[in-house]
Chain A
C-alpha cells in the first residue's frame, strides 16, 4: 500500500469531507422533497401545504395522497402537531411559511395582507357553498378562504347511563346541571367540557346560548349583556357542582374520556362520531348546548377549517391553482376528506346532499341540529378576542371572580382590539 493510498482510507480528510457533503446534500434534497410522496419533478413548481394534526386515523395519508395526485406542481405536505396556530403565525411573518394552509377565518390576516382573496377561483361554484360558510370567510366583500369541512360540536351523552339515572337528555341549562349532578356517581363524572372546564371551547357558544351575540353586524361589542352575565353565573353553578370531569388525559376534542366511561356526557365534535360508534354502538346520543335563561337558545358550534393562500407564496397563482384543483374541482377527494375518516359535513351543498354516511342515524341527527342551531365564527372576532373571552369565562367560572366586572373588562379589551382593525 503506497503512502498515497494510505491517505485515502475511509477516514481520510478528503474522503470524510466528500462523504459528509454527499450525506448533507442527500439530506437537503430529501428535506426539500419530504412528504410529497412523489417520484419525479413536475416542471419546477413547488407548493408547501400546511395542515394541523387531525386526530382521525388515515387523514395524514389522505393529505399526502391528494398532494401526490396533483400533477402541475410538487406539493409538500407539512403535518403539524401541537400548537399549530403559533407555528403558522411565525411562519406567516417569516419567509419560511406555507404557500397554502388551513386555518380559521380572521380579519387581521386579510387586512394585514397575509392572505390573498380567492374570489376568482370560487366564482363558478360560489352558489354551491352555504351563505354562512361564505360569510365566515369574507372580509369587506371578498372571499379569502375556501371552506374544507364543517365541524359541528355538541354534547354527546350515554343513553344507558341516562336511563339508569332516570335522566332525560337536557334541553335547558338547568336540566344540564341537574343531569350532571345525577350522573356523577360510581366513579363516572357527569360531564366533560375539556381540560379548561369549557372556558376555552364554550366561550363563544356560552354567549350565543344566552341569546346574545359577540359582535354586532357592524362590528361593535355585543356580548356585554345581562344575559351573558347570567350565562356566566349558570356556568359557575355547573362548575361548582363538582360534577365536571377535570384533569382527564386528553382534551375535549378527543372522545377517549367518553369512550372509556370516565364521563356520562362530553362536549365533542362530529369528527369523533365514527370512533364513538365503533366503541359504544348505538349507546349514545347528541344534543345541542342548551339555551340559558329566558332569552336563551340551543347552540351547535360550527368549528371546521378553511384553506387560505399566503400572500408570500413563492408563486401565488400556482398556489391558487392547487387550491382550486383540490377544494373546488376534486369533489371525490373532498367527499373522501369529509366522510372517510372522522365525520365532517362537506361545505358544498351538492356534496353534503350526496354524503350517504351522514344520512342516517345519529350522524343525520347531527346534520339536522347543525342546520337548525349552527353558529359560525365571525371573521371579525379575532384570535386575540377569543383569548379575551376565554379569559372572561375562565375568571368568572373557574376562578370565581365577579361576572359583571369580568364582562366589563372583556368589553374594554375587545374594544381596544376592534380599534386596531378599524
Chain B
C-alpha cells in the first residue's frame, strides 16, 4: 500500500510560516535578543556598578553625613554640629594654607609638564631611529612608585649633606651644600617636589601627545608647505597645535586633577610640614594620622571635591572641552 502525499502535509510536519507568524517570531526573537543583551549588560556592568555604589557613592554619602557631626576617634557620628566642621575647616588656617600650597604646585607643575611632555613627544615623533627605544625609555619612570622615587630623590639626589648627588655636583663648582628639603628661604624644596613629579609623569603625557601627533594627516602639512608655510614654528603654530587641541584639553585636565591629588611626594619628602602641606596630606593627618577627627576630615574632603569639580567645569568651559575640532 502506498500513501498519497500530494496536496497535503504529512502528519507531524510543520507548515511553512505565514507573514503573521513570521512577524510574531521576529518579535519573539527580538525580545529574546533585547532581554539577552540586557542580561549580558547587567552581568558585566553589574559588579562594577555595585562596586561603584558600595565603595564610592555610599562612602561619599556617609562622608557628607559624618561631616555634619562631631566624630572624634570614631566613624560613627556622635553629636550633630551642622555646618560647624565646614566653618572650622575654612577658617582655621591650615586647610586654607594647604589650598594655596597645591595651587602653587599646580601653577608650577601643570605648564611645565605640558610644555616638556609635548616637546618630548615632538622629538620622539620626529626621530626615525630607535623610536620604540626612546618611547620606552621616557615612559619607564611612569611605572615607578612615588614612594620609591621620593626615597631616591630624598636620600640620594637631593640629600642635604655634602655627599648628596646634587651637592656633589655643586661642590665641583665650589658651591656650599644645599639643604634641599630643609630650607624654606629660598624654597629649594620646590625643586625636589617638581623635578620628582616631572620625572614620574612626563612619559605618560608624552605617550598621549605622541598618539595624537600620529593622528594628524600628513596632507595638512603638505598643503601648508604648498601654500608657503615653512616647516618648523609656522606649521607647529598653525597645524600641529590646533590639531592637538582636544588632546591638550584632556591632558591639562588630567594634570590638574593629578596636581590636586598630590600626596605621595609631599608625604614622603616633607611629612606634615605646614609650608609644604597639600590638602590631601592635611586631611590624612586630620582624619587618620594624629587627629582621628573624621567629622573635620569628611568636611575637608567634600570641600576639596567641590573645588576640583568647579575648577574642572570652569576649565572645560574656557577650553571648550568636548567641542569638535575646527
Q: Do A and B come from one complex?
A: yes
Interface residues of A (CB under 8 A from B): 83, 85-86, 89-90, 92-93, 108-109, 111-112, 114, 187, 195-197, 199, 245-249, 257, 262, 383-384, 386-387, 390-391, 394-395, 398-400, 409, 413, 416, 420-421
Give which listed residue, B181, B272, B293, contacts A384 with CB less than 8 A: B293
- In the complex the two chains form, what is the Cα distance from A85 to B271 in whole Å? 13
A-B pairs, top 4 by smallest CB distance, nearest first, are: A247-B160, A246-B182, A246-B179, A383-B290
B30 is an interface residue with CB less than 8 A from chain A? no
Once the chains are docked, how many angstroms separate the CA of A109 from the CA of B292? 9
CB < 8 Å neighbour of A247 from B88, B159, B272, B275: B159
Residues of A within 8 A of B155 (CB): 249
Contacts A93-B74, A112-B74, A249-B159; A399 near B292 (Cβ below 8 A): no
- Inter-subunit contact A195/B182 (CB<8 Å): yes
Q: How far is the CB of B188 from chain A (nearest CB, A)?
A: 9
**Assembled-state Cα–Cα distance A398/B276 (Å):** 12
- A257 CB to closest chain B CB (Å) equals 8
Which residue of B is nearest A386, CB measured?
B290
Assembled-state Cα–Cα distance A421/B293 (Å): 12
Sample of 19 further A-B pairs with CB below 8 A, known A390-B272, A395-B275, A399-B275: A85-B289, A85-B290, A86-B285, A93-B292, A93-B294, A112-B74, A187-B162, A245-B179, A246-B179, A246-B182, A247-B180, A262-B161, A386-B290, A387-B272, A391-B94, A395-B274, A409-B93, A413-B92, A421-B72
B184 at the A interface (CB under 8 A): yes
Residues of B near A112 (CB, < 8 A) are: 72-74
Residues of B near A383 (CB, < 8 A) are 289-292
Contact indicator B72/A108 (Cβ below 8 Å): yes
A221: shortest Cβ distance to chain B, in Å? 16
Interface residues of B in 159-201 (CB under 8 A from A): 159-162, 164, 178-185
Task: Please name all residues of chain A whose beta carbon is closer than 8 Å to the beta carbon of B159 when the two chains form the complex.
Answer: 247, 249
Q: Are A399 and B274 neighbours in the complex by a CB distance under 8 Å?
A: yes
Pick the residue among A89, A245, A249 that contacts B292 (CB under 8 A). A89
CB pairs A–B below 8 angstroms (28 shown):
A89-B292, A90-B288, A92-B73, A92-B292, A93-B75, A108-B292, A195-B182, A199-B273, A247-B158, A247-B161, A247-B180, A248-B161, A383-B289, A383-B290, A383-B291, A383-B292, A387-B272, A390-B272, A394-B274, A394-B275, A395-B275, A399-B274, A400-B185, A413-B92, A413-B93, A416-B88, A420-B70, A420-B293
Q: Which chain B residues border A248 with CB–CB below 8 Å?
A: 160-161
CA distance A386 to B181 in the complex (A): 22
Please, which residues of chain A bring their CB within 8 A of the CB of B75?
Answer: 93
Contact partner, A399, options B158, B179, B184, Cβ 8 Å: B184
B72 with A420: CB separation less than 8 A: yes
**Least Cβ distance of A50 to chain B in Å?**
15
Residue B266 interfacial (CB < 8 Å):
no
Inter-chain CA distance A420–B183, complex, in Å, is 35
Query: Which B residues contact A (CB, under 8 angstroms)?
Result: 70, 72-75, 88, 92-94, 155, 158-162, 164, 178-185, 271-275, 284-286, 288-294
> Most A CB atoms within 10 A — which of B88, B158, B289?
B289
Residues of A near B284 (CB, < 8 A) are 86
Q: Which residue of B lies closest to A83 (CB)?
A: B289
Q: Which of B155, B162, B271 has the most CB of A within 10 A?
A: B271
Do the beta carbons of A89 and B288 come within 8 Å of each other? yes
Q: Which residue of A lies closest to B272 (CB)?
A: A387
B94-A89 in contact (CB<8A) = no
CB of A47 to closest CB in B, whole Å: 22
B291 lies within 8 A of A384 (CB): yes
Closest approach, in angstroms, between the C-beta of B146 and any C-beta of chain A?
14
Chain B residue at smallest Cβ distance from A247: B160
Please, which residues of chain A bring their CB within 8 A of the CB of B286?
A: 384
Residues on B with C-beta less than 8 A from A398 are: 184, 273, 275
Tell me which residues across on chain A come within 8 A of B291, comparing CB atoms: 383-384, 387
Closest to A387 in B: B290
A245 to B177, CA, bound (A): 11
- Report the bound CA distance from A245 to B73 in whole Å: 37
Say whether, besides A89-B292, A109-B73, A247-B159, A195 and B184 are in contact (CB < 8 Å). no
Question: A420 vs B292: C-alpha distance in the bound complex, in angstroms?
Answer: 12
Q: Which residue of B lies closest to A413 (CB)?
A: B92
Using Cβ atoms and an 8 Å threshold, which residues of chain B touch A86? 284-285, 288-289
Chain B residue nearest to A90 (CB atoms) is: B288
Chain B contacts of A246 at CB under 8 A? 160, 179, 182-183
Cβ of B40 to closest chain A Cβ, rounded Å: 23
Q: Which residues of A contact B285 (CB under 8 A)?
A: 86, 387
Contacts of B183 in A (CB 8 A): 246-247
Report A-chain residues with C-beta under 8 Å of the C-beta of B273.
196, 199, 394, 398
Closest B residue to A199 by beta carbon equals: B273
List the B side residues contacting A114 at CB < 8 Å. 73
B181-A391 in contact (CB<8A): no
Most buried by B among A83, A247, A390, A413: A247
